[in-house]
Amino acid sequence: MFAAFIACEKKQDSTNTGNNNTTPKSGDTIKIGEYGSLTGEKATFGQSTKKGIELAQEEINKAGGLLGKQVEIIVEDTRGLPQESTTVVQKLIDKDKVIAVLGEVASTNSLAGGAVCQEKQVPMITPSSTNADVTKIGDQIFRVCFVDDFQGEVMAKFAANTLKVKKIAILRDNGSDYSKGLSNFFEQTFKKLGGEIIAIESFQDKDSDFSAQLTKLKGLKPEALYVPGYYTQAGQIAQQARKNGITVPIMGGDGWDSQTLFDIGKDALNGCYISNHYTIEDPDPDVQKFITSFKAKFGETPDALAALAYDAAKIMFDSIKRAGSTDKKAIRDAIAQTKDFKGVTGVITIGANRDAVKSAVILEIQDGKYKFKESVKPDNAPVASTETAPATTPEIKAVAIK
Amino acid sequence: MELFLQQLINGIVQGSIYALIALGYTMVYGVLRLINFAHGDVFMLGAFIGFYTANLLGISQPSVGALILVMTVSMAGSAAVGLVIERFAYRPVRKFSRLTSLITAIGVSLLLEYAAQFVFGATPKSFPTIFETQNISLFGNVTISNDSILIIIVSIFLMVMLNLIVFKTKLGKAMRAVSFNLDVAKLMGINTDFIIAFTFALGSALAAAAGILYSVHFTKIDPLMGLLIGLKAFVAAVLGGIGNITGAVLGGLLLGIAEIMVSGYISSSYKDVFAFLILILVLIVKPAGLLGSAAQEKV
């Protein structure tokens, strides 16, 4: 009995440390819930996200809070499990009476937690779940990252407008929805822009030998390759393509983003391009300010997940401010009306299907490092470029800076 | 035509790797009638021993000497692992039914895979560059890389050496005797424990050689790399006639070429379908495999 009491008290303690409670009286704060994988296999996802949100919270509270009150973030650990996500979101809403929820990273967990938010009519923003189904749960669920399919579109625009290539071959993983999604939308957009997809070849999850496909593609003489896959195989494909005598640029998506890519692909990756959510090399002053503050607070460089979490929190705060009250329905409507919000991961507008309409960045790989190339807006030509490409007029550049 | 020749070369390279692993399978089976499912994982261990050897020695300049050194250490290390597996996993159950050995083999395989994930980590690693790869133009646009040539030469060389050991040496004669009848061999004064241990060591060394060549060619290693390729090599061994050394090489080449041709001309999604279809068809027509026959003396 006594032991149980102690255990209970301990638990209370740990919840409090996670709260980042800035004001003691809970009645005077605006309570927002956050659920994430702080421990478990995907712990780095949750930790990065928590740091991003924490920084946003600190900034808003220093600036006087929201509606005259301080913002309180109540953090719950999902241990990376969907069933746990359901439980903690229920707790956040029923016990802690949060007015809105932030989380999760993994789409599976956002689907589980999102269902609870939808049922209880509490608005939720996921910073980084890219699966299309997440926002289809219902009208309470939003996201601030782009959807998988959008990346394909972005790369197609980059290939057609900046690289100015006309004939592209695709090599994709037929067993992965991510890879197929990117590939299909790339094909659609690229054809619309007047390009030609000369071949679509496939590989499988466990393949290490891509010589048959690459030999075939080499014979067709593409001007670029599009390989929407994950980093391990992407690195190997780049290596084997160069060995095979294919020298054209290879393009990929955020699935390439890992140190392992460079370990495996090495020099073969020079001159390859990927689409991603954000880059620390982005010269934009807001992005650089975010990176500096983040480094000062946590002593590390923010990754894409931290940046997305920061943006999610800021959009949430901005929406509450615009709603002018803590009424959940008013907040939901305000989130839905988010338009041209300037975040560190781009200018974000919440679209009709509650997905973020925003730009993606294109990065060039050079000697094991990413070089910021340009950011691509969803419905226009490239809007910003570090290089003075002839296609980019100063006028268009100004749009990007705004 | 050029495209076809290039794909044929790709197929031969892929097939040679299958052949190298199939050699070890077929030899152990020939002597013990045991399908050593852990063979593909010894292949993986060979690659990892090579990885750590190259890194510990700090090999920064690729050279033929570096390759030979890394390969020798890896083959010796894997032979030792093979001996340990034989001594502690297979020998204690040898007197029981064959099924017991088979289940033990599966157990050893899983043990190696998951122990490797625990020790080395599940993240794929990049194999250090110990051998400078170059493209050699054969004719027209048909090219072959020098590491591919190496793979083909080594697999042919090892096949010839194995044949010599098995058919021309006294040790080989003892191996064949053990294969023919273990108890009678024992009665004739053959140290069967030694012969079996030797067979395992030799088979494991072959797997390690394949592991190193594979890693040089494909540059990526991970603890589960032996799983699928081990299975394919097993198919190759059965295709060629399990227990037959030349058959293992033939089976490996056939499987490799078939896979590449299906990937190159149809779709990579169907390559496994075709690989196993060939296996089934061959086994319907020739149940003992291409070169295997019920009457032939097997090793």
A301 touches chain B (CB under 8 A): no
Query: Which ipTM score applies to this complex?
Result: 0.77
How far B297 CA sits from the closest chain A CA (Å)?
A: 36
Q: A349 pairs with which residues across the strands?
A: A357
Q: Is B137 on the interface with A (CB under 8 A)?
A: no
Does A264 sit within 8 Å of B268, measured CB to CB?
no
Beta carbons of B7 and A260 less than 8 Å apart = no
Q: What are the angstrom distances between the C-alpha of B240 and each of A62, A267, B23, B29?
A: 75, 40, 10, 13
Residues facing residue A357 across a β-bridge: A349
B14 touches chain A (CB under 8 A): yes
Contacts of B3 in chain A (CB under 8 A): 215-216, 219
Q: Does residue A209 sit at the B interface (CB-CB below 8 Å)?
A: yes
Instruction: Establish if B164 belongs to a structural domain.
Output: yes
B283: contact with A, CB 8 A cutoff: no
What's the structural domain count of chain B?
Answer: 1
Kindly determine whether residue A209 and residue B7, on different chains, have CB atoms separated by under 8 Å.
no
Closest residue on chain B to A206 (Cα): B228
In chain A, which among 168-187 make CB contacts under 8 A with chain B?
A: 174
Highest mean predicted confidence (pLDDT) among A34-48, A57-71, A387-401: A57-71
Q: Does residue B7 belong to any structural domain of this protein?
A: no
> Is residue B37 a part of any domain in this protein?
yes
Would you say residue A139 has pLDDT above 70?
A: yes
In A, minimum Cα distance to B141 occurs at A219
Q: Give CA–CA dist A377/A358, Å, rounded.
A: 6
Is there a domain that residue B286 lies in? no
| Shortest CA gap A262–chain B (Å) | 9
Q: What is the pLDDT of residues A311-363, one digit of tens each?
A: 999 999 999 999 999 999 999 999 999 999 999 998 899 988 899 988 888 99
Supply the pLDDT for residue A108.
Answer: 85
Q: Does A235 touch chain B (CB under 8 A)?
A: yes
Task: Report the 3 state secondary structure along chain A.
Answer: CHHHHHHHHHHHHHHHHHHCCCCCCHHHEEEEEEEECCCCCCHHHHHHHHHHHHHHHHHHHHCCCECCEEEEEEEEECCCCHHHHHHHHHHHHHCCCCCEEECCCCHHHHHHHHHHHHHHCCCEEECCCCCHHHHHHCCCEEECCCCHHHHHHHHHHHHHHHHCCCEEEEEEECCCHHHHHHHHHHHHHHHHCCCEEEEEEEECCCCCCCHHHHHHHHHHCCCEEECCCCHHHHHHHHHHHHHCCCCCCEEECHHHCCHHHHHHHHHHHCCEEEEECCCCCCCCHHHHHHHHHHHHHHCCCCCHHHHHHHHHHHHHHHHHHHHCCCCHHHHHHHHHCCCCEEECCEEEEECCCCCEECCEEEEEEECCEEEEEEEECCCCCCCEECCCCCCCCHHHHHHHHC
- B269 vs A202: CB contact, 8 Å cut-off? yes
Q: Report the C-alpha gap between A145 and A21 in whole angstroms.
A: 27
Which of A203, A208, A260 is closest, CB to CB, to B268? A203
For chain A, list the domains and their CATH numbers: 2-146+285-357 (3.40.50.2300), 149-276+360-401 (3.40.50.2300)
User: Residue A264 is nearest to which of B14, B126, B269, comparing CB atoms?
Assistant: B126
Per-residue pLDDT of chain B (299 residues; tens, 9 = 90+): 778 888 999 999 999 999 989 998 888 888 888 888 899 999 999 999 999 999 998 877 788 888 899 999 999 999 999 999 999 999 998 888 888 988 999 999 999 998 998 898 777 888 888 888 778 887 777 888 888 898 899 888 988 988 899 889 999 999 889 888 888 999 999 999 999 999 999 999 999 999 999 998 888 898 889 988 998 999 999 899 888 888 999 999 999 999 999 988 888 778 888 888 888 888 888 888 888 765 445 55
For residue range A67-122, list pLDDT tens digits in order: 999 999 999 999 888 899 999 999 999 999 999 999 898 888 999 999 999 999 99
pTM comes to 0.73
pLDDT band at A379 (very low <50, low <70, confident <90, very high): low
Give the A:B interface size as CB pairs under 8 Å: 71
Residue A24, pLDDT score = 44
Which residue from A243, A302, A236 is spatially nearest to A263, judged by alpha carbons? A236
Instruction: Inform me whether the C-beta atom of residue B267 falls under 8 Å from chain A C-beta atoms.
Output: yes
Which positions in chain A touch B220 (Cβ < 8 Å)? Answer: 208, 232, 235-236, 264
Q: Given pLDDT bands bounded at 50, 70 and 90, which one contains residue A41?
A: low
CA separation for the pair B258, B18 (Å, rounded): 12
CB contacts of A218 in chain B (<8 Å) are 141
- Chain B residues in contact with A227 by the CB 8 A cut-off are none
